[in-house]
Each structure stands twice: as C-alpha cells, then as structure tokens.
Structure 1
Amino acid sequence: MCTTEKAKIKRCKCKKKGRLTIDGSDAYFQLENPDEHPQETKALDKEKNGRVLEKTVFVLTSVGIILLTHGITWAQWILPITFATLTPLLVGIKTFCYWKNKWQYFMVDFCYFANTLTLVYLWLPDAGGELFRVVFALANGPVLVAAAVYRNSLVYHNHDKITSCYIHFLPALLTFCIRWFPESTSQFWVKDFITDDSDFDVVWLYAVPLASFFVHSALYCLIINVVMRPREPYVTSYSYLAEKYNNLKCIDGKWGQGLVYYGMNWLFCLTSLLPAVLAYSYFSVHCTLIALVFLVVLWNGASYYVHVFSERGFNVSE
C-alpha cells in the first residue's frame, strides 16, 4: 500500500477521534466537536461578542471625540442636539446594565440629577438666564470637577467608563457653547439661547446651586438611608465609599458615618463651585478648567491601559 493510501486510512480513522494525524510528522490538528464542550464554546462565544462590542465602543468613542471637538470649535449647534439625543439613550443603557449588577442605586447620584436639570433647561421654552446660571454652575462645578476627584478614565473600549466621562463632561461642554457662542449654538435648536453678558451673580451662580445640592443630599439620604436601605449584594455610592475609606468611620454612633459622608460632599460642592463662578465670567478660565479636568481623565485612562494591561493582561470583563 502506498504512503498516500496509508495517510488516507489514518485520516479516516482519526476523524472519529477528532484528531487528524499527518503521516511522517509529529504535528497534528485537534478537531473537537463543539457539542462535546458546550461550556467552553459558550465562553468563547461570549468573549468573542465582548471583543466585538469593545471594538465598536472604541470606534464610536474616537469618532465622538472628533465630532465634539469640531462642534466646540466651529459648529456649536451640534452640542444641544447631541446632548438631547444621546443622554437619555446612554443613561438608559447604563441603568439597564447597573440593574443587572445590582448597582441601580448609583443612578440617584447627583451627576444624574444635574444632567436631568440640563435637559429641562434645553427643552423648557421659557427658561431664562437665571436657570442657565444654575445649570452652568452645577455643570462646571460639582459635575465636572467630580470627573477628576472620582478618577473617571478615558478608556476607549469600555462603555461604562466612557458613559461616565460623557455624563460628567457633556453638560460642561454644552454650557460652554451656550455661554460663549449663543447664536451659533441655537442655530438649529427649538429655541434661542439668551445672551447673558452679566458677570458674577452670587445668588444664581452660588447660593441656588448650593441649595439644590443640599436638596439632592436630603433626598438621597431619605432614599438610601431611611426608605430603601439597600443591603448586600446591592451597592451604593454611600456603601462603596464607606467600605473603601475607613475615615468615614471616624465618628462613632448610628449616624456618625453618614455625617462624615454628607459633610465631605457638602465641602466638595462648596469648593468646586468657586472655579465655576470664575469660568462664567472669564472665557480663558473656562477653557483652562475644562482642559485641566480632561487631562486628568486622559491620564487616568493612560494609567489604566499601561498598568492594568501590563499587570493583569487584557480581559473582556475589565
């Protein structure tokens, strides 16, 4: 029998075993039946789908940054359309993902309250300069500065991290365009944004935004600490920070930890509103504030890619 015939016989016999042996060589191919390993197949399919999703998020994020840069510098009318259409969509997707992981109580944090107030200002036809000042102060104060304080990261492939960056940055970018380019920003929008040439206003730029922050804190305390009182496996900002930072337990007693938590939040709001007030009065300060926070977020993203990937390798679940 010739060598080729022997190889054919071996190939036929090995098909039943799932192995292809090539005569005269130690190399072989493992031909496994997917039905014999359903769990491994499902894991591979899940990983493949995850990679496709991450590639899609990476491309959309890159395109989005280009479009936003173009909008801020030349076509400011892009910003209100983008914010009004994408914000409900992205927040809805994030709510669904967080609900599955029992993280839904993060959705009552202040940044989502500020984004909702910004949407109200966009769609409310009679909203005047007073409401805009409140929205401006919150967007460029606690919301924007929180992106740096709470270590938001520009990780291009991760939809959760990118959505967090969007929620903290888009209100600031939108109010930047409305404040300094009102005519161009309202070009294709449903209403004209009122040009406001007034500078410092202690009531609407500081006192009212601070009061709205206190109102949200009271509602948050009522929901998280009194009414719902979620326990494990549910996670809230309150429980996450209390576990991460033992300094929240520096005051004993039933409400000691809560006093430290809310006191730190109020102090953060008091200080973060100060640069927002200056940004409202000076164009250069506003540009510098947004640029500095963006550099911090960009640095956090670079640290994620360099340190996480170098130490733990690439993982779809990251």
Structure 2
Amino acid sequence: MPSPSSPPNGRTPFSASFERFKRDEMAEWAGAFTLLDTVETYFDSHVDLLQRKLQKHSDRLKMRAEETFKIRDLSGDLLAENFEREFKGFKLKIQSRMTSLASSWQSAKVVRTREKLSFFFGVMSMLFSALIFGLAPQWVHISYTVQGLYLLPLRAYTYKKRAWHYFLFDLCYYVTILNFVYIWFLPSSPALFVACYCLSHGSLASAVITWRNSLVFHDQDKVTSLFVHIYAPFTFTVIRHFYPSAEIRFPALRELQHLNPLNALLLSGGIYLIWQLLYWKFVLVDRRAKIESGQRTTSFSFLLNDKRGVIGRSLSSVPAAYREAAFMFGQLLYGVLTEVPAVYLLYNSPRWSGVFLILILAVSVWNGGGFYIEVFGRKFERELEALRKELADTIARTSSGRSSPLSTPGLSQGSEDEISSSENSPPIMNSKLLPEDPPAFNLQDVPPPKKDQ
C-alpha cells in the first residue's frame, strides 16, 4: 500500500514512533513558508516598520513619563523607576524575538533552495509530461523511468535516515519495480503486462483518493508520492492506447487485443498475494520486535492508530490476534475492487482512460489547494493573532498595570485608545502594528529542521 501522509496518534505500542513521525510531518509544513522570496522583502520591510513604530512609541511614553515624574515625590520616582525597568524588559523581549526571527530566516536559505528545486522539478515535470504526451508519446515510458531513477533513490535515502524505511515495502513500490521490469526487460510477457496494467490502474491510482495525495509542488515527499501513484497508470494508458505502433516496442500487446476479466483479476490478484506473503514474512514477522517496540512504523501500525479513519476504527474492533489477517484480507479485497473499472472499461476505451486520469489528477490538485489554503492560511492566522494579543497585552500591562503615572490625564490617551481599538477589532486585520494583508508564512515555525506524503 502507499505510504501514509502523516503518522498516527494513539496509545498503542506504535504510538512512540508515530508521534515522532507526526512531528516530522508538521516540521515539513513549516519549510513551505520559505518558498516565496518576494515574501522575504515584504516581511523584512514590515519587521523594520514594526520596530520603528515600537521605538517611536517608547520614546513618546518615556518623554511623557519624564515630564510627569518631574512633579512627583519620592514615591513617584520609584514608580518611574519601575516603569523604566518594565519597559526596558519589554523592549529587550521584542529585540530578542526580532533577532531570533532574523537568525531563523537566514538559516532557512538551504531549506528554501531545496523547496525551490522541488517546486521547479514538479512544475516542469507536469509541463514536460503533457508536452511529450502530445508530441511524442513514445517517450512517456522513458520519462517515467528517468524520473523514477531520481525520485525513488532519494525517497529511500530520506526514509532510511528518518527510520521510515519500512514504508518502502508497501505495494506501490513493489508495483513500480514490476513496471520497470516489464518496460525494460520483459516487454513481450502478456502476463506481466496484464498484472502491471491492472495494479497500476487499481491500487496505485486509487491511492491518490484513499490516501489523499496532494499536488504540492514545493514538497519533495508529496511530489514523489504523487509520481509513484499517478505516473504508472499514465504510462500504461499511453502504452495501451496512444503509443504509435506499440506492438513493435511492447510485443505483449499483440496477444492482448482484449482482456479476459476473470483471468486478469486472478493474475493481478496472484501477483498481489506474492507481495502480501513476502511483506508478512519479512516485515510483520521477522521485524515484529522492532515494530512493537515503536522503533519502526508500518502501514498497518499507521492505520491501526488512526482512530479517525474508517479503517483504523474497523481494525480496532477486531480482536488483536486477528487484526493482521483482517488487514491483509481487506487489502486484497480493496485491490480487486479497484481493478474492476480498468478491466471492464478502461482497457478498451481511450476516452474513459483519459477521463479516469483527469479525475485522479483533479483530486490531487484539490487536495493540494486545500493544503495551501487551509493549512497555511489557518496556521498563519493563529500565529498572527497570538502575536497581536501578546503585543497588545504587554503594552497594556506596561502602560496601565505597573505605572500609575501613565494614568494621569493627557499622558497616554493616544496609546490607550490604540490598545482599546486593537482589543475591540477583529483579529489580524485591524492591528496597526501588523500589515493588513500579511505574507503567507509562519512567524514562529521558520524554519525547523526538515517528513511522506
């Protein structure tokens, strides 16, 4: 099965690795905010504006305080001293935050470059794939191979470094390897072509919907996941329907003018069972100790801990001794059902094959739009609101809570009016210390060290 997009939460033996898995995923979202270099100029200018406003505000408060303190007795001098100390602490806190933010921004240069490269690669890959499909469809399988040779070793290295490499034993990578074997070593094997075609249009393509794969160009992991799940059905659709003189390059097609649905399902099911038995033996049995100790995470442990999902809730209701068997049987049933449209409809219809690919891609684009707008927008809104409240509360406490001279007539009427209007205004938009149309990046999470899907 394809690798999950985020690790689970729960109190099972797998929860320890899942929590680490989840933290890494959340850390990767933060790296996305470094994509837009135009934001850097916008952000720097507003940070400078904020600092100058704070300095101007502090000078005005100190000048008024000094004028008032001249007519105060000894107790007034003590109040002034307390006020001065409080204000210096506030100023140091702001300066420290600005320094930390600037340091984080500078240290994000490497991350920002990597995200740019991922964005460039993702966009150009989609454009190039569309061009070669229209101009030279006989190059699509070559593009599939070249991109796979770059993305899959990078995925293996990244997952091994993060101790997620048990996800590499999932079905999607197994089918991808079978696809390359057919394309370059056994193009005359009808059985292997049928298995690759059915599995690519079944379990792999449907995983875009099931696992909510997203077209998020700046995220290398999401680009890789989408490539694995959508480029395989795209390649075999081209080979079947749009490749000129396909029987010459792929002789297996001469014997496969039409599919026998029952034979196709049995054949692809048999190939699936071979993978399932290997997965059960080498992962669920031989590595059981590491998985149960929480050192490793698998698709099974992910789904079991995902209490919000239908599969996770269903598995939790099954007795522990039968959960693995129920999981494997459910995978087999799911794989067969998702292959039915390919066997009965897509193999004989170029038009419906195109509709199918557009539908799968549309789902990934919709998920990607939700990622950018919902995740980024809501996270930035929460952080900006927290900053606004922190600044308003600190200024209010400084001006009225600790220093009674500020309550004298004419001393801080303007600042108090600003605080009052800020507290009564809607979040984000009415704060005079912050821009009305803020840039889309996170003020506190830029940039933690850098998660799938």
TM-score bracket for this pair, using the shorter chain length: 0.7 to 0.9
Query: In the alignment, which residue of structure 1 is the partner of 2:296?
Result: 234
Alignment of 1:251-262 (within 5 A): 251-254=318-321, 256-262=322-328
Percent identical residues: 24
| Structure 2 residue corresponding to 1:206, chosen from 262, 265, 274 | 265
Tell me if structure 1 keeps the 8 A contact 2:206–2:338.
Answer: yes
Q: Distance in 2 between matches of 1:126 and 1:288?
A: 26
Structure 2: which amino acid aligns with 1:134? A
* Pick aligned residue for 2:279 from 208, 220, 242: 220
Q: CA RMSD in A?
A: 2.8
TM-score, with structure 1 as normaliser: 0.81
Q: Which one of the candidate residues 242, 266, 291 is aligned to 1:181?
A: 242
Q: Deviations over 1:243-294 (max 9, x none)?
A: 002321212142x221232122112111101011121121122111111111
Tell me, yes or no, if the aligned pair for 1:182 and 1:193 is still in contact at 8 Å.
no
> Following the alignment from structure 1 to structure 2, what is the Cα–Cα distance between the partners of residues 294 and 246?
28
Equivalent residue in structure 2 for 1:286, among 338, 353, 367: 353
2:195 and 2:267 in contact (8 A); partners too: yes
Instruction: Work out whether 1:308 is the aligned partner of 2:375.
Output: yes
Structure-to-structure mapping, 1:95-134, within 5 angstroms: 95-125=156-186, 127-134=188-195
* Distance in 2 (alpha carbons) for counterparts of 1:127 and 1:308: 47
Aligned residue number for residue 4 of structure 1: none
Equivalence for 2:250: 193
Any idea what the Cα deviations from partners look like across 1:117-161, whole Å, max 9, x if unmatched?
000011115533332122111111111111111110000100000
Match of residue 268, structure 1, among 325, 334, 352: 334
**2:187/2:193 contact within 8 Å kept:** no
Tell me, yes or no, if the aligned pair for 1:141 and 1:272 is still in contact at 8 Å: yes
C-alpha change, 1:204 and 1:123, in structure 2 (3 Å) is: farther
Of 111, 116, 119 in structure 2, the residue corresponding to residue 50 of structure 1 is 111
In 2: Cα distance, 1:286 partner to 1:84 partner: 21
Query: In 2 relative to 1, CA 204–41 (structure 1 residues): closer, same or farther, beyond 3 Å?
Result: farther
Q: Shift of the alpha carbon at 1:46? A: 4.2
Q: Which residue pairs with 2:365 in the alignment? A: 298
Bigger CA drift: 175-184 or 131-140? 175-184
Inter-partner Cα distance in structure 2 for 1:185 and 1:45: 52
TM-score by length of 2: 0.58
Q: Equivalents in 2 of 1:262, 1:131: separation in Å?
A: 23
Equivalent position SS for 1:77: helix
Give the structure 2 partner of residue 154 of structure 1.
215
Which structure has the bigger radius of gyration?
2
Kindly indicate whether residue 121 of structure 2 is the aligned counterpart of residue 60 of structure 1: yes
Query: Larger deviation: 176-185 or 98-107?
Result: 176-185
Match of 2:199 in 1: 138
Alpha-carbon separation, structure 2, partners of 1:136 and 1:204: 13
Contact 2:215 2:223 in 1 (8 A): yes
Task: Assess, with a 3 A threshold, how the Cα gap between structure 1 residues 185 and 302 changes in structure 2: closer, same or farther.
Answer: farther
- Residues 20-67 of structure 1: CA distance to partner in whole angstroms, max 9, x if unpaired? xxxxx969xxxxxxxxxx998875454221111111211221111111
Kindly state the Cα deviation for residue 99 of structure 1 after the two structures are TM-superposed: 1.1
Partner of 1:32: none
Give, in angstroms, the shift of residue 203 of structure 1. Answer: 5.2
| Structure 1 unaligned residues grouped into runs of 5+ | 1-24, 28-37
